[in-house]
Amino acid sequence: MLEGLKLQHPFQDRRVPVILGDHVTLEAGTGAVHTAPAHGQDDYIVGRRYNLPVVNPVLGDGRFQADTPLVGGLKLEEASAKIIETLQGSAALLHHAPLRHSYPHCWRHKTPVIFRATPQWFISMEQNGLRANTLRDIPKVKWIPAWGQQRIAGMIETRPDWCISRQRTWGVPITLFAHNETSALHPRTQEIIEEVARRVEKDGIDAWFDLDPRELIGDDAERYHKVTDVMDVWADSGVSFEVVGQERPEIAAPVEMYLEGSDQHRGWFHSSLLMSEALYERAPYKNVLTYGFTVDEKGRKMSKSLGNVVAPDKVMNSLGADVLRLWVSATDYTSEMSVSDEILKRTSDSYRRIRNTVRFLLGNLHGFDPAKHAVPMDALVDLDAWALRRAASLQQEIVTAYRDYQFHVVYQRAHNFCVNDLGGLYLDVLKDRMYTMPADSHARRSAQTVMLHILSAMVRWLAPVLSFTAEEIWQVLPALGEKPKSVFLTGWHQFPETPAPTIDWDALIALRQAVLRELEKLREAGTIGAPLEAEVDVYALTDHAARYRAVGEELRFLTITSAARVHVVQAEPPDAVVAEAGSAVIPGVWLKVRRTGGNKCVRCWHLTDDVGGDAAHPELCRRCAGNVGNNPEQRHHV
């Protein structure tokens, strides 16, 4: 058993003990090493276990203290040569061979670092209940994402006392005077700090470093020395909530949100929390939002050496700032965020789809004056009322997503609304009404009324993300009442109430989707070129048929076919229908879709048997002839 065995020092008249340390292994080194408790964390810990003295003979300039035997006043590399020479002279050196090995270096200056145990300034985690109070208040904060709470709580539970002093020639000074022998603070410390603060406010940080101690403590300068340490930068940034609160009195404490990357649970979030708890026994913030780091499409971090950096200014110059902002919004920031030229191209396509939807809405609002032309809510065409209710419901989801900082949900909801609800349904169906009916007809004004409400809401949904695009929209948007100069000076759109629906639009939309699938089969087979070249017969059980018949002959406008008829069947449709239509497309519903006959109206493109029925308009169907004449059609549902 070697533990505790005393060994003779090779050239000094003293003996040192053999101690055991778990940090020394046969895989790293010889297994027998020297120990210097003042010059390494592992050595310090094992030295404390064996009550070894913490002797620090190395000064801050990298030289040994003058009274150090043999090497006093020498630099470390000079001392190494002197020690080897002495060992060789006393025949105590078995072998000497230079060896290159890894050693800690300063990450900024790339120079080797010497570990030294020196007096430091600490904030105790236990005194005054700092740790306990902090752990008590962490659950009171809303952490976004939620796992942030557990992460920072785990760090607070296990962290040691906070060393807030650094030995650097720059930074915020620790403005204290300490007794030369006891290190006790000067009895007028609080008064001195206030005076130093006034000087720093006037002359800057150097006012402390340039200060002659006698200016503040007179003859006490003989017994007290000025502390030249600076604060840990995290202690400095950790009081930003206090500084901002003083400069901006409209910001109430605690502040609304801290926002930074996921590494700040051990950084700014951490230091601010401890500082606020030490000062006020409460958290400095109500919400903490953290996000992941940006990586390329393969999940690799951005690096100049890899050549995978996507420069924001390049993206803005080529695709525009709003595309870059849309990518940020569309990405789930709670994990790593992938970006590449291909990803940004897809984002640009999404932006174009949103912008084109807005352009369609604005284009069809030409000539619409809300004060003169708006239709009352109880007089809207049924499909318009459905679209208005859909937009109002969606706005609630979007507002909730914004409040929960789920910006990717905002993007998904808004983009899907443009693609599916508007482009894939409402605006697609609306084209016939907008392009064929008289400009001042009730049905057309109904659609314009709803389009204006939808766009007035959409521009507000988009404003926090597509800021430039939203402002561009706002400047040309017809005013619904008093209109602020900027979209950023308004609140969410206030949707008007609409009467309860009397039509089952979910059932009708499902039928429309089923018809579109059958039409696509005909188009792929070359039977038709466009949906209006087809007609559809719907065979449905009684309940289904009643839902479809609720819109009457206007069903063809919903399916965008030249004719659509609904037939009631009791159980199964006629054999001829089954043979041609096949199995039910919806339980209890069969479709018979085929190419239609008739002639094509040059105005609405519907194929009907009544083209040329009006002698004054030989190329128009009877409906279009009435719309351009004195007998316009009436729309109630679609």
Which residues, 6 or more positions from 159, have their beta carbon under 8 angstroms from its beta carbon?
125
Q: Nearest Cα to 616, choosing from 607, 604, 628?
A: 628
Are the C-beta atoms of residues 230 and 173 closer than 8 Å to each other?
Answer: yes
Which residues, 6 or more positions from 165, have their beta carbon under 8 angstroms from its beta carbon?
120, 121, 174, 229, 230, 231, 232
d(CA 584, CA 522) in angstroms, rounded, equals 17
Q: What's residue 303's pLDDT?
A: 74
Q: In angstroms, what CA-CA distances link 247 with 197, 238, 253, 470?
A: 16, 16, 13, 32
Residue in the block written with tokens 């109880």: 378
DSSP per position, 558-593: HHTSSEEEEEE-SSS--HHHHHHH-S-SBTTEEEEE
Evaluate if residue 579 carries a pLDDT over 70. Answer: no
Q: What's residue 30's pLDDT?
A: 65
Evaluate if residue 601 carries a pLDDT over 70. Answer: yes
Other Cβ atoms less than 10 A from the Cβ of 99: the count is: 4
Arithmetic mean of pLDDT over the chain: 91
Are the C-beta atoms of residues 324 and 295 closer than 8 Å to each other?
Answer: no
Evaluate if residue 581 carries a pLDDT over 70. Answer: no
Q: pLDDT by residue (tens digit) across 90-141?
A: 888 888 888 777 778 887 778 888 888 778 899 999 999 999 999 999 999 9
Evaluate if residue 245 carries a pLDDT over 90. Answer: no
Q: Nearest Cα to 603, choosing from 627, 580, 583, 581?
A: 627
Residues facing residue 185 across a β-bridge: 178
Split at pLDDT 50, 70, 90, the class of 29 is: low
d(CA 240, CA 236) in angstroms, rounded, equals 8
Q: What's residue 528's pLDDT?
A: 96
CA 362 from chain centre, in angstroms, equals: 31
- The total number of residues written for the chain in this structure: 638
DSSP per position, 60-85: TTSBB-TTSTTTTT-BHHHHHHHHHH
Q: pLDDT by residue (tens digit) across 531-543?
A: 999 999 999 999 9
d(CA 3, CA 263) in angstroms, rounded, equals 43
CATH code: domain 123-291 is 3.40.50.620
Q: Nearest Cα to 368, choosing from 274, 257, 447, 437?
A: 447
Are the C-beta atoms of residues 241 and 284 closer than 8 Å to each other?
Answer: yes
CATH code: domain 344-489 is 1.10.730.10
Element (H, E) at 524: helix 505-525
d(CA 148, CA 145) in angstroms, rounded, equals 6
Split at pLDDT 50, 70, 90, the class of 582 is: low
d(CA 585, CA 515) in angstroms, rounded, equals 9
DSSP per position, 380-406: S-HHHHHHHHHHHHHHHHHHHHHHTT-
Evaluate if residue 576 carries a pLDDT over 80. Answer: no
Q: pLDDT by residue (tens digit) across 259-282?
A: 998 889 999 999 999 999 999 999
d(CA 330, CA 561) in angstroms, rounded, equals 36
Q: pLDDT by residue (tens digit) across 159-192?
A: 999 999 998 888 899 999 999 888 899 999 999 9
d(CA 14, CA 380) in angstroms, rounded, equals 102
Q: Is 240 exposed, middle or buried (0-12, 13-18, 19+ CB in 10 A)?
A: middle
Are the C-beta atoms of residues 580 and 586 closer than 8 Å to each other?
Answer: no
Q: In angstroms, what CA-CA distances link 77 with 60, 62, 123, 190, 230?
A: 15, 9, 36, 44, 28
* For the chain, the helix, strand and coil percentages under 3-state DSSP, each to the nearest 5: 45, 10, 40
**Cis omega before residue 145 (within 30°)?**
yes
| From 54-63, 339-348, 546-555, 593-602, the region with the lowest mean pLDDT | 54-63
Q: In angstroms, what CA-CA distances link 211 with 204, 228, 272, 296?
A: 12, 11, 30, 51
Q: What's residue 216's pLDDT?
A: 94
Domain chopping of the chain, boundaries: 1-116, 123-291, 344-489, 505-597
d(CA 366, CA 629) in angstroms, rounded, equals 22
Q: Helices marked H in 159-306 — which ranges? A: 189-203, 206-209, 214-217, 233-237, 240-247, 268-280
Q: What's residue 350's pLDDT?
A: 96
Element (H, E) at 348: helix 341-363
Are the C-beta atoms of residues 556 and 564 closer than 8 Å to each other?
Answer: yes
Q: Which of 149-153, 242-246, 628-632 has the highest mean pLDDT?
A: 149-153
Split at pLDDT 50, 70, 90, the class of 488 is: very high
What amino acid occupies position 9? H
Average pLDDT over residues 60-75: 86
d(CA 5, CA 435) in angstroms, rounded, equals 102
Q: Which two tokens stand for residue 179?
A: 């007794």
Evaluate if residue 578 carries a pLDDT over 70. Answer: no
Other Cβ atoms less than 10 A from the Cβ of 301: the count is: 12
d(CA 388, CA 382) in angstroms, rounded, equals 10
Average pLDDT over residues 309-322: 86
Q: pLDDT by residue (tens digit) across 380-401?
A: 999 999 999 999 999 999 999 9
Q: pLDDT by residue (tens digit) across 460-478?
A: 999 999 999 999 999 999 9
Fold classification of 505-597 is hypothetical protein PF0899 fold (3.30.2320)
Pairing of strands 534-540, 337-338: unpaired
Split at pLDDT 50, 70, 90, the class of 356 is: very high
d(CA 353, CA 356) in angstroms, rounded, equals 5
Q: Which CATH superfamily is domain 1-116 in?
A: Valyl/Leucyl/Isoleucyl-tRNA synthetase, editing domain (3.90.740.10)
Average pLDDT over residues 53-64: 83
